[in-house]
Amino acid sequence: MADRPLPILIDTDIGDDIDDALALALALTSPEVDLRAVTTVFGDVATRTRLALKLLAAYGRPDIPVGTGRGAPLMGPPPTHTPNQAIVLEEGEELPEPSGHPADELIRRTAHEAAGRLAIITIGAMTNMALALLREPRLARQARLIVMGGVVGQQLAEWNIRCDPEAARICLESGIPTTLVGLDVTMKCQMGEADVNALAARGTAATALLDAMVGAWSGSADGQRKRKCPILHDPLAVAVAFRPELVTVQQRKVAVETRGEFTRAFTVATQSDKPNASVCLDVDSAAFLRLFMGRILSR
């Protein structure tokens, strides 16, 4: 372990897929990192902020600031659906106040305070990060970026990139040191039924909230969960921040397609003498799952 925990900021669309909440849980139970701030993005950001605040409070960290970000992509209207995990929020419950700084400002402030050591982990649309870079280009020299997004081994548009391809393109062209943790590796990382049951049985305040959020995501009814076990897309991105040996990477020039009629939001990774990203190509999924389960069951 490093002498000093790595300062990180997580930018999240918590509330839809369950992996965002699991990623925050991994960060909060990993002594190798110091979670300095959380920012929310995409759609109903007010609800996402409340979910993040509730999860942080369950882990005894109400001191971590949560900045509400932009709900709409850089181009186009915002989505209007309510995050499925909003059902864990109780009417009138007291939660910590969100940060007085909007997400992009909180990103910039946190990077400045971390004095060049901050790892920014985006696990949703990259809108907030793009706005932060547009408003302060020198941010590209003050932090590094870990992106759960993209795919290089298939021809498809990964969700986080598709939610705001213009923002993703801005970030990848900004010069900020970037690691791309895409579907090529995250699809290999899935909880098993025994893992989900172990989380449900742990019985602490934090794991009880996580289990309730898993239930909301899975569409459970009468104890029967309709979805499969969670795929750990976002937790892997968090783990890569402090355990880079879990993945195999290759330097690539990554571009985001923003104009193609059929290829919009594709991530195109090519060999180049001027790469702009470390692209994850493989993962030790067994080692990662052991790490992940050990951490989230520790609290």
What's the rounded Cα separation, in Å, for the pair 221 and 159? 27
Sheet holding 66-68, edge to edge: 66-68, 33-40, 6-12, 118-123, 143-148, 178-181, 277-283, 247-256, 267-270
pLDDT at site 228: 77
Q: Is residue 64 part of a domain?
A: yes
Tell me the CATH number at 80.
Answer: 3.90.245.10
What's the rounded Cα separation, in Å, for the pair 154 and 209? 35
pLDDT at site 186: 98
Options 81, 101, 112, 233, the catalytic residue: 233
Phi then psi dihedrals of residue 210, to 5 deg: -60, -45
**Could you count the other beta carbons within 10 Å of the beta carbon of residue 271?**
9
pLDDT at site 1: 41
pLDDT at site 92: 87
pLDDT digits (tens, 9 = 90+) for 175-187: 999 999 999 999 9
Distance of CA 283 to the CA centre of its chain: 18
Given a cut of 70, is residue 225 above it in pLDDT? no
Under the banding of pLDDT at 50, 70 and 90, the label for residue 219 is confident
pLDDT at site 224: 57
Q: Is residue 206 part of a domain?
A: yes
Under the banding of pLDDT at 50, 70 and 90, the label for residue 227 is low
Q: Is residue 236 part of a domain?
A: yes
Q: Is residue 34 part of a domain?
A: yes
Nearest Cα to 47, choosing from 78, 16, 8? 16
The domain tally of the chain equals 1
- Could you tell me the residue range of the domain that residue 151 belongs to? 6-296
Whether 81 sits among the annotated catalytic residues: the reply is no
